Amino acid sequence: MFAKRDAGLYLPALDLWVDASRRRERGYVSHAHADHAREHDVVICTPETAALCAVRFRSRKRIAFETHRFNEPWEIGEYRLTLFPAGHVLGSAQILVEGSSGRHVYTGDFKLAASRTAEPTECKAADVLVMECTFGSPHYVFPPREEIEAEIVGFARAALEDGATPVFYAYSLGKAQEAMAILGSAGIPMRVHSTVAKIAEVYRACGVGLLPAEQGEGDGTHAEIRPPGRTNAAPASRKTRTAMLTGWAIDRSARYRYGVDRSFALSDHADYPALLRTIELVRPRKVLLVHGRDDFTHRLRRLGIDAEYLEEHAQLSLF
Protein backbone atom coordinates (compact mmCIF):
# COMPACT_ATOMS: atom_id res chain seq x y z
CA MET A 1 0.00 0.00 0.00
CA PHE A 2 2.83 2.39 0.85
CA ALA A 3 5.15 3.35 -1.98
CA LYS A 4 8.42 5.20 -1.42
CA ARG A 5 8.94 7.86 -4.05
CA ASP A 6 11.66 10.46 -4.35
CA ALA A 7 9.33 13.02 -2.76
CA GLY A 8 8.27 10.83 0.16
CA LEU A 9 5.68 8.16 0.92
CA TYR A 10 2.67 7.76 -1.31
CA LEU A 11 -0.58 5.83 -0.91
CA PRO A 12 -1.64 5.07 -4.51
CA ALA A 13 -5.01 3.59 -3.53
CA LEU A 14 -5.94 6.86 -1.80
CA ASP A 15 -3.95 9.21 -4.06
CA LEU A 16 -2.47 10.64 -0.89
CA TRP A 17 1.09 11.78 -0.17
CA VAL A 18 2.43 11.22 3.34
CA ASP A 19 5.02 13.68 4.71
CA ALA A 20 6.07 14.47 1.14
CA SER A 21 9.23 16.53 0.71
CA ARG A 22 7.76 18.55 -2.17
CA ARG A 23 4.48 20.41 -2.59
CA ARG A 24 1.61 18.23 -3.77
CA GLU A 25 -2.06 18.70 -4.51
CA ARG A 26 -3.04 16.81 -1.36
CA GLY A 27 -0.76 15.66 1.42
CA TYR A 28 -0.96 14.29 4.93
CA VAL A 29 1.38 16.12 7.32
CA SER A 30 2.19 14.21 10.50
CA HIS A 31 3.57 17.26 12.32
CA ALA A 32 4.77 20.79 11.69
CA HIS A 33 8.55 20.32 11.57
CA ALA A 34 9.98 21.70 8.34
CA ASP A 35 11.35 18.35 7.14
CA HIS A 36 7.83 16.88 7.18
CA ALA A 37 5.47 19.80 6.54
CA ARG A 38 5.07 21.20 3.05
CA GLU A 39 2.66 23.79 1.68
CA HIS A 40 0.40 21.39 -0.20
CA ASP A 41 -2.75 22.72 -1.83
CA VAL A 42 -4.67 20.68 0.76
CA VAL A 43 -2.94 19.76 4.01
CA ILE A 44 -4.48 16.92 6.03
CA CYS A 45 -3.44 17.08 9.68
CA THR A 46 -4.58 17.67 13.25
CA PRO A 47 -6.00 21.07 14.28
CA GLU A 48 -2.88 21.70 16.37
CA THR A 49 -0.56 20.98 13.46
CA ALA A 50 -2.67 23.26 11.26
CA ALA A 51 -2.30 26.07 13.80
CA LEU A 52 1.47 25.62 13.87
CA CYS A 53 1.73 25.38 10.08
CA ALA A 54 -0.36 28.54 9.72
CA VAL A 55 2.34 30.37 11.67
CA ARG A 56 5.30 28.73 9.93
CA PHE A 57 4.16 28.59 6.27
CA ARG A 58 5.01 31.66 4.19
CA SER A 59 2.23 31.30 1.61
CA ARG A 60 -0.44 30.14 4.08
CA LYS A 61 -3.25 32.18 2.46
CA ARG A 62 -3.51 29.78 -0.48
CA ILE A 63 -3.44 26.59 1.58
CA ALA A 64 -6.54 24.68 2.62
CA PHE A 65 -6.36 22.68 5.84
CA GLU A 66 -8.44 19.54 6.29
CA THR A 67 -8.20 18.83 9.98
CA HIS A 68 -9.10 15.70 11.90
CA ARG A 69 -8.97 15.31 15.66
CA PHE A 70 -7.33 12.37 17.36
CA ASN A 71 -9.34 9.14 17.24
CA GLU A 72 -12.15 10.58 15.10
CA PRO A 73 -12.10 8.38 11.95
CA TRP A 74 -13.04 9.52 8.45
CA GLU A 75 -13.22 7.77 5.10
CA ILE A 76 -11.57 8.10 1.72
CA GLY A 77 -13.38 5.77 -0.64
CA GLU A 78 -13.37 2.30 0.87
CA TYR A 79 -10.64 3.16 3.39
CA ARG A 80 -11.03 4.30 6.97
CA LEU A 81 -8.39 6.65 8.37
CA THR A 82 -7.68 7.61 11.99
CA LEU A 83 -5.12 9.96 13.50
CA PHE A 84 -3.75 9.26 16.98
CA PRO A 85 -1.00 10.86 19.10
CA ALA A 86 2.67 10.37 18.28
CA GLY A 87 4.09 12.23 21.31
CA HIS A 88 6.73 13.96 19.15
CA VAL A 89 5.59 17.61 19.34
CA LEU A 90 2.23 19.29 19.89
CA GLY A 91 -0.32 17.89 17.44
CA SER A 92 1.99 15.24 16.01
CA ALA A 93 0.02 12.25 14.77
CA GLN A 94 0.35 8.69 13.64
CA ILE A 95 -2.11 7.54 11.01
CA LEU A 96 -4.02 4.27 10.86
CA VAL A 97 -5.35 3.22 7.45
CA GLU A 98 -7.85 0.35 7.46
CA GLY A 99 -9.08 -1.52 4.41
CA SER A 100 -10.36 -4.92 3.35
CA SER A 101 -6.90 -6.52 3.61
CA GLY A 102 -5.75 -5.17 6.95
CA ARG A 103 -4.54 -2.31 9.09
CA HIS A 104 -1.55 -0.10 8.28
CA VAL A 105 0.04 2.37 10.72
CA TYR A 106 2.53 5.08 9.81
CA THR A 107 4.21 6.53 12.90
CA GLY A 108 5.92 9.59 11.49
CA ASP A 109 8.37 10.93 14.09
CA PHE A 110 7.30 9.67 17.51
CA LYS A 111 8.38 8.81 21.01
CA LEU A 112 6.89 6.70 23.81
CA ALA A 113 8.38 8.64 26.72
CA ALA A 114 6.30 11.20 28.55
CA SER A 115 6.37 14.82 27.42
CA ARG A 116 5.49 18.08 29.15
CA THR A 117 4.11 19.70 26.00
CA ALA A 118 2.98 16.97 23.56
CA GLU A 119 -0.02 14.67 23.78
CA PRO A 120 0.65 11.23 25.34
CA THR A 121 1.58 8.64 22.72
CA GLU A 122 -0.77 5.82 21.79
CA CYS A 123 -0.08 2.51 20.06
CA LYS A 124 -2.62 0.70 17.90
CA ALA A 125 -2.44 -2.87 16.62
CA ALA A 126 -1.62 -3.15 12.92
CA ASP A 127 -0.75 -5.70 10.26
CA VAL A 128 1.90 -3.41 8.78
CA LEU A 129 3.88 -0.85 10.77
CA VAL A 130 5.70 1.88 8.87
CA MET A 131 8.05 3.26 11.50
CA GLU A 132 10.74 5.91 11.67
CA CYS A 133 13.97 4.60 13.18
CA THR A 134 16.17 7.64 13.75
CA PHE A 135 17.86 6.10 16.78
CA GLY A 136 17.84 2.50 15.58
CA SER A 137 21.18 1.54 17.11
CA PRO A 138 21.57 -0.23 20.49
CA HIS A 139 23.74 2.43 22.08
CA TYR A 140 20.97 5.04 21.80
CA VAL A 141 19.40 4.51 25.19
CA PHE A 142 18.24 7.77 26.74
CA PRO A 143 18.60 8.33 30.49
CA PRO A 144 15.40 8.56 32.54
CA ARG A 145 13.53 11.78 31.81
CA GLU A 146 13.71 12.90 35.45
CA GLU A 147 17.50 12.62 35.35
CA ILE A 148 17.79 14.65 32.14
CA GLU A 149 15.52 17.40 33.47
CA ALA A 150 17.44 17.57 36.75
CA GLU A 151 20.72 17.97 34.84
CA ILE A 152 19.28 20.75 32.66
CA VAL A 153 17.98 22.63 35.69
CA GLY A 154 21.26 22.10 37.56
CA PHE A 155 23.26 23.41 34.61
CA ALA A 156 21.09 26.53 34.43
CA ARG A 157 21.29 27.26 38.16
CA ALA A 158 25.05 26.76 38.30
CA ALA A 159 25.56 29.19 35.42
CA LEU A 160 23.30 31.84 36.92
CA GLU A 161 24.98 31.55 40.31
CA ASP A 162 28.27 32.25 38.53
CA GLY A 163 26.80 35.33 36.82
CA ALA A 164 26.73 33.62 33.43
CA THR A 165 23.83 33.18 31.03
CA PRO A 166 22.90 29.54 30.42
CA VAL A 167 22.08 29.33 26.70
CA PHE A 168 20.10 26.29 25.55
CA TYR A 169 20.03 25.51 21.84
CA ALA A 170 16.82 23.73 20.88
CA TYR A 171 14.64 23.50 17.77
CA SER A 172 12.13 26.33 17.83
CA LEU A 173 9.19 23.91 17.54
CA GLY A 174 8.89 21.24 20.19
CA LYS A 175 12.23 21.01 21.94
CA ALA A 176 12.28 24.72 22.82
CA GLN A 177 8.83 24.51 24.39
CA GLU A 178 9.92 21.44 26.37
CA ALA A 179 12.88 23.47 27.64
CA MET A 180 10.54 26.33 28.56
CA ALA A 181 8.34 23.92 30.53
CA ILE A 182 11.31 22.34 32.32
CA LEU A 183 12.95 25.62 33.29
CA GLY A 184 9.63 27.29 34.08
CA SER A 185 8.59 24.51 36.45
CA ALA A 186 11.90 24.97 38.30
CA GLY A 187 11.28 28.69 38.69
CA ILE A 188 14.15 29.72 36.45
CA PRO A 189 13.46 33.00 34.60
CA MET A 190 14.10 32.80 30.87
CA ARG A 191 14.31 34.76 27.68
CA VAL A 192 13.63 33.19 24.31
CA HIS A 193 14.25 33.85 20.65
CA SER A 194 11.36 35.46 18.74
CA THR A 195 10.67 32.28 16.73
CA VAL A 196 10.44 30.27 19.94
CA ALA A 197 8.07 32.85 21.43
CA LYS A 198 5.81 32.81 18.37
CA ILE A 199 5.40 29.04 18.51
CA ALA A 200 4.95 29.11 22.28
CA GLU A 201 1.92 31.35 21.73
CA VAL A 202 0.33 28.61 19.58
CA TYR A 203 1.05 26.08 22.30
CA ARG A 204 -0.68 28.28 24.87
CA ALA A 205 -3.66 28.81 22.55
CA CYS A 206 -3.94 25.01 22.28
CA GLY A 207 -4.03 24.64 26.06
CA VAL A 208 -0.40 23.89 26.92
CA GLY A 209 0.48 25.70 30.14
CA LEU A 210 3.74 27.48 29.34
CA LEU A 211 4.81 30.37 31.54
CA PRO A 212 5.36 33.70 29.79
CA ALA A 213 8.94 34.41 28.76
CA GLU A 214 10.61 37.62 27.65
CA GLN A 215 12.11 37.82 24.19
CA GLY A 216 15.79 38.61 23.80
CA GLU A 217 19.18 37.57 25.13
CA GLY A 218 19.94 36.47 28.65
CA ASP A 219 21.92 38.83 30.87
CA GLY A 220 23.22 36.62 33.64
CA THR A 221 19.88 36.69 35.47
CA HIS A 222 17.85 34.71 32.91
CA ALA A 223 18.33 31.46 31.02
CA GLU A 224 18.13 31.81 27.24
CA ILE A 225 16.53 29.45 24.70
CA ARG A 226 17.36 29.87 21.04
CA PRO A 227 17.28 27.74 17.88
CA PRO A 228 20.56 26.14 16.77
CA GLY A 229 22.44 28.41 14.36
CA ARG A 230 25.40 28.06 12.08
CA THR A 231 27.65 28.82 15.01
CA ASN A 232 27.11 28.64 18.75
CA ALA A 233 29.88 31.09 19.56
CA ALA A 234 28.75 33.55 22.22
CA PRO A 235 29.39 37.28 21.82
CA ALA A 236 32.58 38.32 23.58
CA SER A 237 30.64 40.87 25.60
CA ARG A 238 28.61 38.18 27.37
CA LYS A 239 29.56 35.46 29.82
CA THR A 240 27.68 32.35 28.79
CA ARG A 241 27.47 28.60 29.33
CA THR A 242 26.05 26.83 26.29
CA ALA A 243 24.18 23.55 25.93
CA MET A 244 22.57 21.62 23.08
CA LEU A 245 19.35 19.67 23.69
CA THR A 246 19.39 16.64 21.38
CA GLY A 247 19.13 12.88 21.38
CA TRP A 248 22.52 12.83 19.65
CA ALA A 249 24.00 13.85 23.00
CA ILE A 250 24.42 10.12 23.61
CA ASP A 251 27.40 10.34 21.24
CA ARG A 252 30.54 11.34 23.15
CA SER A 253 31.52 13.72 20.38
CA ALA A 254 28.23 15.66 20.52
CA ARG A 255 29.34 18.70 22.48
CA TYR A 256 32.41 19.10 20.30
CA ARG A 257 30.37 18.65 17.12
CA TYR A 258 27.92 21.33 18.22
CA GLY A 259 30.55 23.58 19.77
CA VAL A 260 28.87 23.81 23.20
CA ASP A 261 29.89 23.32 26.81
CA ARG A 262 27.36 20.54 27.43
CA SER A 263 24.84 18.45 25.57
CA PHE A 264 21.76 16.86 27.11
CA ALA A 265 19.90 13.87 25.67
CA LEU A 266 16.49 15.54 25.61
CA SER A 267 14.88 14.00 22.53
CA ASP A 268 11.48 14.01 20.87
CA HIS A 269 12.22 10.68 19.16
CA ALA A 270 12.01 7.09 20.38
CA ASP A 271 15.31 5.58 21.51
CA TYR A 272 16.36 2.05 20.62
CA PRO A 273 14.47 0.24 23.43
CA ALA A 274 11.34 2.28 22.64
CA LEU A 275 11.49 1.31 18.97
CA LEU A 276 11.54 -2.36 19.98
CA ARG A 277 8.78 -1.80 22.54
CA THR A 278 6.60 -0.16 19.90
CA ILE A 279 6.84 -3.25 17.70
CA GLU A 280 5.86 -5.39 20.68
CA LEU A 281 2.79 -3.23 21.32
CA VAL A 282 1.67 -2.95 17.68
CA ARG A 283 2.29 -6.65 16.90
CA PRO A 284 2.65 -6.21 13.11
CA ARG A 285 3.35 -9.04 10.72
CA LYS A 286 5.52 -6.68 8.67
CA VAL A 287 7.67 -3.69 9.68
CA LEU A 288 8.72 -1.08 7.13
CA LEU A 289 11.41 1.35 8.22
CA VAL A 290 11.96 4.95 7.12
CA HIS A 291 13.86 8.04 8.32
CA GLY A 292 16.82 6.25 9.85
CA ARG A 293 19.62 3.76 9.33
CA ASP A 294 18.83 0.67 7.31
CA ASP A 295 21.06 -1.49 9.57
CA PHE A 296 18.18 -1.46 12.07
CA THR A 297 16.44 -3.71 9.55
CA HIS A 298 19.07 -6.42 10.02
CA ARG A 299 18.87 -6.11 13.79
CA LEU A 300 15.12 -6.73 13.64
CA ARG A 301 15.53 -9.68 11.30
CA ARG A 302 17.96 -11.28 13.74
CA LEU A 303 15.19 -10.96 16.33
CA GLY A 304 12.83 -12.86 14.02
CA ILE A 305 10.89 -9.79 12.88
CA ASP A 306 9.91 -9.47 9.22
CA ALA A 307 11.45 -6.06 8.53
CA GLU A 308 12.36 -4.10 5.43
CA TYR A 309 13.89 -0.67 4.89
CA LEU A 310 11.65 1.15 2.45
CA GLU A 311 13.99 2.43 -0.23
CA GLU A 312 13.03 4.88 -2.98
CA HIS A 313 10.70 3.40 -5.61
CA ALA A 314 9.94 0.42 -3.34
CA GLN A 315 6.32 -0.53 -2.80
CA LEU A 316 4.41 -2.84 -0.50
CA SER A 317 0.93 -3.70 -1.73
CA LEU A 318 -1.32 -5.53 0.70
CA PHE A 319 -4.60 -4.01 -0.54
- Tell me what the mean pLDDT of segment 218-247 comes to: 81
Q: 2-139+269-316 and 145-264 share one CATH topology?
A: no
Amino acid 231: pLDDT: 46
Residue 202 has pLDDT above 50, yes or no: yes
**Top-tier CATH class for 145-264:** alpha beta
C-alpha dist (Å) from residue 191 to 145, 167, 188, 194: 23, 10, 10, 9
β-pairing verdict for 240-245 and 262-264: parallel
Spacing of C-alpha 262 from chain mean position: 22
Amino acid 61: pLDDT: 59
Q: Which tens digit of pLDDT belongs to each residue from 165-186? A: 999 999 999 999 999 999 999 9
What is the Rg, in whole angstroms, of the alpha carbon atoms belonging to the chain? 20
**Which of these ranges, 40-44, 158-162, 260-264, has the smallest mean pLDDT?**
40-44
Amino acid 142: pLDDT: 98
Q: Which tens digit of pLDDT belongs to each residue from 214-224? A: 888 878 899 99
pTM of the model: 0.92
Would you kindly state where each structural domain of the chain is located, as residue ranges?
2-139+269-316, 145-264
Residue 248 has pLDDT above 90, yes or no: yes
Please tell me whether residue 287 adopts helix, strand or coil conformation. Answer: strand
Amino acid 315: pLDDT: 44
- Tell me what the mean pLDDT of segment 79-85 comes to: 98
Task: Please provide the CATH number assigned to the domain covering 2-139+269-316.
Answer: 3.60.15.10
* Residue 114 to residue 123: CA distance in whole angstroms: 14
Which amino acid appears at position 73 of this protein?
Answer: P
Amino acid 59: pLDDT: 60
Q: Which residues of 155-165 are buried (b: 16+ CB within 10 A; e: fewer)?
A: bbbebbeeebb
Q: Which tens digit of pLDDT belongs to each residue from 27-61? A: 999 999 888 878 888 899 999 999 999 888 766 55
* Residue 158 to residue 174: CA distance in whole angstroms: 25
